[in-house]
Amino acid sequence: MDKRILSGCIASLVGLMLFALVGFLFGAKLHHVQATPWGELPLLDLSGVLLSMAVGGAIAGRRYAWYAVGMVALLWAATVFVLISVQPEMALSKVLRFNRLAIGASLLLAWLGAFAGARLGERTRVRRASA
Whole-structure pTM value = 0.88
pLDDT for res 112: 97
pLDDT tens digits for 32-47? Answer: 777 778 777 888 899 9
Rg for the chain, CA atoms, rounded = 16
Distance separating alpha carbons of residues 100 and 90, to the nearest angstrom: 15
Residue of higher predicted confidence among 73 and 87: 73
- The half-sphere exposure of 20 on its side-chain side, counting CA atoms within 13 A, is 8
pLDDT band, residue 29 (cuts 50/70/90): low
Give residue limits of the domains in the chain.
3-130
Q: What is the DSSP string of 22-79?
A: HHHHHGGGT--EEEETTEEEEHHHHHHHHHHHHHHHHHH-TTHHHHHHHHHHHHHHHH
